[in-house]
């Protein structure tokens, strides 16, 4: 086990000092700093992107070949950290604690330390890691004109207004598969330059809002549905991913229940918990989103799109499309064409 001591004055210091210890290479493009690693210490990358008003992203997509502990001092630089574990696992503890707490896949953790405190992040070896860490520098963030933390619950409010670092706090979140979708979308951003950074920044704020919503829900006593285990929710997430990839398949509740070994009641409970929709509503939503994407990006006519996404009735498709988006498919296509021709 190798311990790396980090004395950061900002987030970039964390990346720079990790890179120095692990002999990585940092490249900057449009304010996005990427450390790549391919040596005896590990393989992959760690990305740092600073945004306005004290918000920044530290994203791990890496496999360490040795067991590493990052010992991060919380003195000059002491943000609130919102971490989400998309793949693998890691441990955290404060300096005065003797035992570590493990963060599992699809789980989140929020923490900040008192001034002069120590944060230990323990990463295993030979484990593929995808960890999303949003860091909030409170003094900068609270100066943003649109920042209003008064509506947050008491604990989060105390953390955001604590600019003298008098409080220590840690909160482990429940399994959150909706957050996984948004973190994956950051990794899938294909744009370059300023547009790329802007798209990632928008996603970062969405993920931050999910952290806060989950914290509010848990601290008010609303936990995971008791009818479902974490493994069953993971299975339901697998089903959701399949529907998103192949929306045209003829999905039926009974067939999904039999194929994945979950009762129809559990399937409905899981979809409602993860996506606030029944199974049928989720399938319809995904098909409509796919249809809108096809109208915007292809030359297929409406009838071709209808059958390519799994609907059998054009009139029914037109009806539910207008209910969802406020315009008919033909009107939407005309709007898109008009914009292109301007």
pLDDT tens per residue, range 59-76? 999 999 999 999 999 888
pLDDT for 341 beyond 70: no
Angle between helices 230-245 and 253-260 (to 10 degrees): 130
Query: At 103, is the secondary structure helix, strand, or coil?
Result: strand
Q: What distance in Å separates the CA atoms of residue 340 and residue 227, rounded to the nearest whole number?
A: 50
70: Cα within 13 Å, side-chain hemisphere = 22
Using alpha carbons, select from 18, 154, 157, 168 the residue that is nearest to residue 78. Answer: 168
pLDDT tier at 39 (50, 70, 90 boundaries)? very high
Query: At 144, is the secondary structure helix, strand, or coil?
Result: coil
* Number of residues that this document lists for the chain: 342
Strands 25-29 and 32-39 turn out to be antiparallel
Q: Reading across the β-sheet that carries 68-74, which strands appear in turn?
A: 2-6, 68-74, 117-123, 90-94, 101-103
Looking up tokens 């990585």 gives 24
pTM: 0.77
pLDDT tier at 148 (50, 70, 90 boundaries)? confident
Between 220 and 47, the more confident residue is: 47
- Give the pLDDT score at 176: 86
For the ranges 46-55, 96-105, 138-147, 225-234, the lowest mean pLDDT is seen at 225-234
Report the pLDDT averaged over residues 280-303: 92
- Give the pLDDT score at 225: 63
Report the pLDDT averaged over residues 106-124: 93
pLDDT for 342 beyond 60: no
Mean pLDDT over the full length of the chain: 90
Report the pLDDT averaged over residues 127-147: 90
């Amino acid at each position: 086990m190798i311990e790396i001591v980090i004395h950061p004055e900002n987030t970039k210091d964390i990346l720079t000092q990790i890179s120095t210890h692990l002999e990585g290479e940092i490249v900057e493009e449009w304010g996005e700093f990427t450390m790549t690693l391919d040596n005896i210490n590990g393989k992959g990358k760690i990305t740092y992107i600073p945004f306005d008003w004290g918000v920044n992203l530290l994203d791990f997509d890496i496999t360490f070949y040795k067991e590493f502990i990052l010992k991060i001092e919380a003195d000059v630089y002491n943000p609130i950290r919102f971490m989400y574990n998309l793949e693998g696992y890691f441990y955290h503890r404060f300096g005065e604690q003797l035992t570590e707490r493990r963060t599992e896949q699809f789980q989140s953790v929020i923490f900040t330390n008192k001034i002069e405190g120590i944060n230990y992040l323990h990463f295993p070896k030979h484990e593929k890691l995808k960890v999303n860490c949003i860091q909030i520098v409170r003094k900068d963030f609270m100066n943003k004109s649109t920042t209003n933390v008064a509506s947050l619950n008491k604990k989060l409010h105390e953390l955001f207004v604590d600019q003298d670092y008098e409080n220590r706090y840690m909160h482990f979140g429940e399994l959150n598969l909706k957050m996984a979708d948004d973190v994956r979308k950051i990794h899938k951003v294909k744009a370059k330059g300023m547009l790329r950074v802007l798209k990632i920044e928008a996603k970062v704020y969405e993920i931050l809002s999910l952290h806060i919503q989950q914290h509010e829900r848990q601290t008010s006593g609303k936990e995971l549905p008791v009818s479902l285990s974490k493994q069953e929710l993971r299975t339901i997430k697998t089903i959701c991913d399949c529907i998103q990839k192949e929306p045209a398949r003829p999905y039926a509740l009974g067939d999904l229940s039999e194929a994945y070994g979950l009762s129809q009641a559990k399937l409905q409970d899981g979809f409602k918990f993860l996506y606030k929709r029944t199974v049928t509503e989720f399938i319809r939503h995904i098909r409509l989103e796919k249809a809108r994407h096809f109208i915007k990006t292809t030359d297929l006519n409406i009838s071709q799109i209808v059958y390519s996404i799994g609907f059998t009735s054009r009139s029914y498709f037109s009806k539910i499309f207008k209910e969802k988006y406020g315009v008919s498919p033909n009107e939407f296509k005309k709007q898109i064409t008009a914009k292109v021709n301007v």
